Structure 1
Amino acid sequence: MDYVNALVTLSRVTTQQWGLITSEQAEQVGVDAACLGGLVQSGVLTVVGSDVFQLAGAPVPQHLDIKVAWLQLEPGTPAWQRLSGNSGVVSHSSACRLHGLGDLPVGTVEMLAADSSLVELGVRVHHAPRPDPTHILVVDGLPVTTAERTITDLLYSGLDGGHVGGVVADAARLGLVDLRSLAQQVAVFASAYGLPASASGPDLISRLLADAGEQAPSPVVG
């Protein structure tokens, strides 16, 4: 395939997934590795990750590292076919970034996937079943755990209370969580965060918010 036709063919895919395409997707539409290499050398494509390319001239998408890593989970499947089924979901600190929650350190992309062999620098795959659909939202074309599910995942992973509390506070301010419902979900983690065995979910929410320098809204949490 000549470069002009290859560009037209690749554009049909990249326009639907943030200007990006994987080498496997390119091969599936008839653009082989040699042609891809030529397009990279000519500046038509830019390498943005292992076997992931961006079409020149396309705006750099927000959260590029997350999108690249998510495409690498299933490099042969277009993004628009992966919003349901058993595909991986953006989670933990990366979900916080997409929701705009907290001030967790940026550097590692985190995702949930039931079965993945992806090994990439700066990417952590938590091997777990795909959450129930009620625990997933589509944010900027990506499946992302809801704020409530994200908070429970952070607690399960043992993240420090101050950082989790910051996420809880932001989620409440943005209306992304109901603190009464969240308290019921997180009560099981109370003892892991230094509270007595008799502590309740609202007690843990109050502790997390205090650790973050936030005040618990007692009418909501109590």
Structure 2
Amino acid sequence: MKTSDALLRLSAFTSAQWGMVTSRQAKGAGVDGVTLHRLEKVGHFDRVRHGVYAATTAVVTEARHEQAVWLMLNAAEPAWKRPLLDPDGGVISHGSAARLHGLGELVDDQVVLTTPRRRTSRDPNVRLMTARLLEDDVTTIDGLPVTTALRTILDLLDQRTDGSHIATIIQEAAKANLVSIDVLEKRIGPYALRYGVRRPGDGEALLDRLLAEIGDSVPRRAQRPAPLRP
């Protein structure tokens, strides 16, 4: 196959998938592995990870590895045909979601995704969690499905992430209007005991304790309207 013909066929994917294409998508478009390897060798593509290639003209973003892993979970299906909650794919979550939201400073080189059914990966840099997400749990960042800030905080609490790290994420999410403090207090209650709050289900006390770890004076209450006096 001529280089020009192969590039034209692959452009249908790269133009809509952050400059990337999977080897299975390429094969489905009639571009075999030998041709794809040749395109890489002459400088038209770079291999991002096993089975995922990016056009060398594509802009490299901080989310490239998350995008590549997400593409590989359902490698044959084009990104534009996948539903938000893809039964054969996944959603960027946990620490990876926090990073893409620009929240906190969690140090983790793994790409973490939540999938609707149990799956495994041979890649030590990929961690797959299993959970049933609702559409309200998911947003998109540049077309990539990512758990919302609220769901991300809940997932990190469930993993017993260090309290000061969680507090920083909450503080930054609140300032960026990514979470409602009132909603957060109601949702984090189930994790109160594991973070040392004696009253089970007390989300407000848990939030106080977490934010106190980073010296936050909990200014959220100043934003609430004062109760009306009779």
**TM-score normalised by L of structure 1:** 0.94
Q: Letter of the 1:120 partner, please give it.
A: D
Answer yes or no: is 1:120 the counterpart of 2:123.
Answer: yes
Identity of aligned residues (%): 36
- Show the counterpart of 2:188: 186
* Structure with max Cα Rg: 2
Give CA deviations for 1:102-133 in whole Å, capped at 9, x if unaligned.
Answer: 1111411111002333331311110222x111
Q: CA deviation at 1:136?
A: 0.8
Give CA deviations for 1:30-79 in whole Å, capped at 9, x if unaligned.
Answer: 10011111111111111110111011212113311111111121111112
After superposition, residues 21-36 of structure 1 pair within 5 angstroms as 21-36=21-36
After superposition, residues 49-198 of structure 1 pair within 5 angstroms as 49-84=49-84, 85-86=86-87, 87-115=89-117, 116-129=119-132, 131-198=133-200
Distance 1:187 1:117 in 2: 31
**TM-score normalised by L of structure 2:** 0.91
Q: Letter of the 2:158 partner, please give it.
A: Y
Change (3 A) 1:218 1:35: closer
Task: Find the residue that maps to 1:10 and give its secondary structure.
Answer: helix
8 Å CA contact retained: 1:108, 1:123: yes
Detail structure 1 runs of 4+ shifted over 6 Å in the superposition: none
Distance 2:201 2:50 in 1: 47
List gaps (5 residues or longer) in structure 2.
225-230
Q: CA deviation at 1:217?
A: 2.2
- Show the counterpart of 1:201: 203
Instruction: Report the more deviating stretch, 147-156 or 52-61.
Output: 52-61
Q: Letter of the 1:145 partner, please give it.
A: T
Distance 1:48 1:105 in 2: 21
- RMSD (Å) for aligned C-alpha atoms: 1.7
